[in-house]
Structure 1
Amino acid sequence: MKIGLDVAQTSAERAGCAWYADALARAMVAQGRPRGHEFVLYHQFGDWINGEPGHGTSLTGTGIEMPMRTLLPVPARALWREIEAGNAPLPGAPDVVVASSFHAPNLPGAKLIYVVHDLVFWTHPQFATDATRLVCQRELGQAIGRAAAFLFVSESTRADFEALFPGWLDRSGIPHAIASGASRWPTVEAAATRAADAPWLMVGSVEPRKNHACVLDAYESYHASAESPRPLRIVGGRGWHSEKIHQRIAELAGRGLPIIYAGYVDDRALREAFRSSFALLQPSWHEGFGLPVLEAFSQGLPVIASDVASLPEVSAGAALHCPPDDPNAWTTAMLKLDGSSAEIDRLTQAGLKRASAYSWQKTAQTVLSLAESLTKSSPPVKR
């Protein structure tokens, strides 16, 4: 079987969904080639057109094609219009295509497996730009009409889908599975020795959904209360509506609070941030999965996270949880963790154990099994 993999998001500045697409592609190729499968990587996909597709995930070897890796935007858009109209074949002629970039193009001759990362554009529309919300709603609607199967990154995301479309999965008979993310790095055997001034860490694009305001309020109170307050390091690119957060960071730093905004960092620097910090703060209003939590676990980093959406599912008791709308609760949790070596050790060991329950190999096996099932005779989907 020939399997197409949408890696379009990996050609831009990478956030969680792009890292998911990258790691899934690598794991599927590693697991699938010994089973006789071939792969086609698409660096331009539907309406997701990149200016520099060559920056995306690149894999080489027998049975791997990358027909759009050097295809520039204008010809890429023209080609995809012809593909979706049925006037041009999809390069590589895959049997199945796994779509990871929220886009669900018409793929004559191939079966579409659509990955649902989150549904925040419907469940929490205030946390998406109008453009993002409209595109994602349109593409999910197209996926409901076109996809041969669905993948959800968490049980929480599947529950959100079920709440939006009650009973549709059962009535349609469409195959679906949970295909969770995992750390992009191996789980360490033990946490690194923490420096006395190891910082608190927050990871994620600076945008309303990530709820930096809560952490900044909590940190201000923590800094006033702790005997030897730790610095706060914020890692993540500048997202939409981030101006007030950056003004708040500058205001607190101007008053002498040790807050470092590192901006977007590469893979190596991010891993070092996880390894050298004291604990991760993840106050998101909503997550489809919550990859930073699992990656923190894998590097021996304790976690304080919101008690909403997928975060309790991912942590399974290996993190402290606080409401995202209660900065005082976050301050209390930070002071508790900073003052208890026993709690640090407990969370570190629980996190390492939890991280080991996830792997890209397991996820790839799930996706490969689903793809293989689609090539067998199956009853038609009831749309």
Structure 2
Amino acid sequence: MLPIFLDVTRLLDRFAKRMLPTGVDRVGLAYIRHYAYRARAVLSEYGFHVVLSERESALAFELLLNQDFTRSRAARALMVRAILGGIRRERRSQGVLLHTSHSGMEFGRYFRTMKRRGIRSVFMVHDLIPLTHAEYCRPGVREKHHERMRVALSHADGIVANSQATLDSLVETSQKAGWTLPATVVARLASGVPAGVAGERPIQQPYFVMLGTIEPRKNHWFALHVWRRLVEDLGERAPTLVVIGRRGWECENVIDMLERCEPLRGKVIEEGNCSDERLHNYLHHTQALLFPSFVEGYGMPLAEALAMSVPVIASDLPVFREIAAEIPEYLDPLDGPGWASRIMEYADAGSQGRTAQLARIKGFQEPTWKEHFELVDQFIDEIA
């Protein structure tokens, strides 16, 4: 059994900054849980890297899995010690590097050095959105992501795609760019929200949840305008919207609505720093998860909601149908009247549509981490 090297640079840096895990981070944490017993942690910066000792790796894994921000300074100190001690670090040979975030993937020196030491590289590709839908991303991200994919495919011994939709996009992009694909496997992602016991209902009246970083492709601006119309038409009888996720980039119009739109006051609650326990409770009691995105590489919140038997109203995206088949309610992401109508239907205590979806959810084939890692472990054995 070959040693595993886990790149934890993004995870440890965000933890040191006291930033809650995103979906990509939750995948990285799942990999730590699965491989920690046989893994070393790796930190990388601008193509240079250091492999942490067994003791340092164990500390890094423990800090990350516990997510206790009172120990964030310990994470920063660990990173400094590791970098300063890197020049006298042992030189390991043989093994497999697992890189589960896109961060730092654009530096070929990192992976060339690993290969010279007999360490093979396996990358997870979460999406090609900066290449296929650059209009939803920050300026310059398209060029960086293009380089990430080029470098990854040049040096990868294997690619793990989180969905068939992502792999199809990667294949199409590679063909257009003239890149050669290495071995690939599709391993779908399980829920990243830890199971918990639901508490008291956080909001007494009917409410809905949007979950994810506030960014253009998530379509928050559209949802807030739908909510404004509901409030204008129904007043206090309008349901509440809970927006869970930190503020991201290129979202000034959404922030303007959240901070300055008077009709939304009291009817839209922003949770930018929501704990897993509070998130679980919000999802447990909600009428439905709303997922009006324009594009997604996977859509972990959809799988999380359905795994909790929570109804979902979502954009009609191929990847959502790949994950959930015909279970959710699907709508065009720009169909304002359609979304308003479905929201009001699901807000009704006697909603037949919601009752019907709850019945469909019973047939949901929940992706599990056990299935994910059975595929990844077999894949690693084959390429190694």
TM range (shorter): 0.7 to 0.9
Task: Give, in angstroms, the shift of residue 190 of structure 1.
Answer: 11
**Do 2:41 and 2:60's aligned partners in 1 also have CA atoms closer than 8 Å?**
no
SS of the aligned residue for 1:197 comes to: coil
Deviates more, 1:277-286 or 1:331-340: 331-340
Correspondence 1:136-215 to 2 at 5 A: 136-166=145-175, 174-185=182-193, 197-215=205-223
SS of the aligned residue for 2:6 comes to: strand
Cross-structure match for 1:8: 9
Give, as a single letter, the amino acid of the residue that structure 2 aligns with 1:159: D
Relative to structure 1, the CA distance from residue 192 to residue 289 in structure 2 (aligned partners, 3 Å threshold; closer, same or farther) is farther
Correspondence 1:281-296 to 2 at 5 A: 281-296=290-305
CA distance in 2, matches of 1:345, 1:91: 59
Provide structure 2 residue ranges, at least 5 long, that are not aligned to the other structure.
50-56, 65-74
Correspondence 1:21-170 to 2 at 5 A: 21-29=28-36, 38-44=38-44, 57-58=61-62, 71-72=78-79, 76=83, 93=93, 95-102=95-102, 103-104=104-105, 105-106=110-111, 107-108=114-115, 109-166=118-175
Aligned residue among 227, 231, 234 for 1:223: 231
Name the structure with the higher helix share: 2
1:271-319 CA distance string (max 9 Å, x none): 1221132211111111110011111112221111111242222221111
Relative to structure 1, the CA distance from residue 190 to residue 232 in structure 2 (aligned partners, 3 Å threshold; closer, same or farther) is closer
**Do 1:162 and 1:168's aligned partners in 2 also have CA atoms closer than 8 Å?**
no
Relative to structure 1, the CA distance from residue 230 to residue 122 in structure 2 (aligned partners, 3 Å threshold; closer, same or farther) is same
CA distance in 1, matches of 2:343, 2:210: 13
Cross-structure match for 1:334: 343
Q: CA RMSD in A?
A: 3.5
1:349-373 CA distance string (max 9 Å, x none): 433542x531011101111111111
Cross-structure match for 2:353: 343
**Do 1:191 and 1:300's aligned partners in 2 also have CA atoms closer than 8 Å?**
no
SS of the aligned residue for 2:189 comes to: coil
Relative to structure 1, the CA distance from residue 129 to residue 173 in structure 2 (aligned partners, 3 Å threshold; closer, same or farther) is closer
Relative to structure 1, the CA distance from residue 238 to residue 149 in structure 2 (aligned partners, 3 Å threshold; closer, same or farther) is same
CA distance in 2, matches of 1:287, 1:48: 31
CA distance in 2, matches of 1:221, 1:328: 10
Give, as a single letter, the amino acid of the residue that structure 1 aligns with 2:135: Q
Give, as a single letter, the amino acid of the residue that structure 2 aligns with 1:18: D
SS of the aligned residue for 1:111 comes to: strand
Cross-structure match for 2:275: 266
SS of the aligned residue for 1:281 comes to: strand
Structure 1 position 310 matched with structure 2 position 311: no
**Do 1:186 and 1:298's aligned partners in 2 also have CA atoms closer than 8 Å?**
no
Give, as a single letter, the amino acid of the residue that structure 1 aligns with 2:9: A
TM-score (norm 1): 0.79
CA distance in 1, matches of 2:191, 2:354: 21
Relative to structure 1, the CA distance from residue 173 to residue 184 in structure 2 (aligned partners, 3 Å threshold; closer, same or farther) is closer
1:231-272 CA distance string (max 9 Å, x none): 111011010122210111233345655111111322222212
**Do 1:181 and 1:360's aligned partners in 2 also have CA atoms closer than 8 Å?**
yes
Q: Indicate the percent of aligned positions where both proteins have the same amino acid.
A: 21
Task: Give, in angstroms, the shift of residue 96 of structure 1.
Answer: 0.7
1:185-224 CA distance string (max 9 Å, x none): 4779999989751311111111111110111122223334
CA distance in 2, matches of 1:113, 1:303: 33
TM-score (norm 2): 0.79
Cross-structure match for 2:256: 247
Deviates more, 1:245-254 or 1:260-269: 245-254
Deviates more, 1:88-97 or 1:185-194: 185-194
**Do 1:234 and 1:261's aligned partners in 2 also have CA atoms closer than 8 Å?**
yes
Relative to structure 1, the CA distance from residue 210 to residue 54 in structure 2 (aligned partners, 3 Å threshold; closer, same or farther) is farther
SS of the aligned residue for 2:160 comes to: strand
Relative to structure 1, the CA distance from residue 353 to residue 28 in structure 2 (aligned partners, 3 Å threshold; closer, same or farther) is farther
Relative to structure 1, the CA distance from residue 309 to residue 148 in structure 2 (aligned partners, 3 Å threshold; closer, same or farther) is same
Task: Give, in angstroms, the shift of residue 334 of structure 1.
Answer: 1.1
CA distance in 1, matches of 2:219, 2:30: 26
**Do 2:315 and 2:333's aligned partners in 1 also have CA atoms closer than 8 Å?**
yes
CA distance in 2, matches of 1:173, 1:139: 14
Bigger relative contact order (CA 8 A; separation at least 6): 1
SS of the aligned residue for 1:305 comes to: strand
Relative to structure 1, the CA distance from residue 94 to residue 180 in structure 2 (aligned partners, 3 Å threshold; closer, same or farther) is farther
Give, as a single letter, the amino acid of the residue that structure 1 aligns with 2:288: A
CA distance in 1, matches of 2:44, 2:58: 10
CA distance in 2, matches of 1:143, 1:217: 40
**Do 2:198 and 2:281's aligned partners in 1 also have CA atoms closer than 8 Å?**
no
Cross-structure match for 1:18: 25
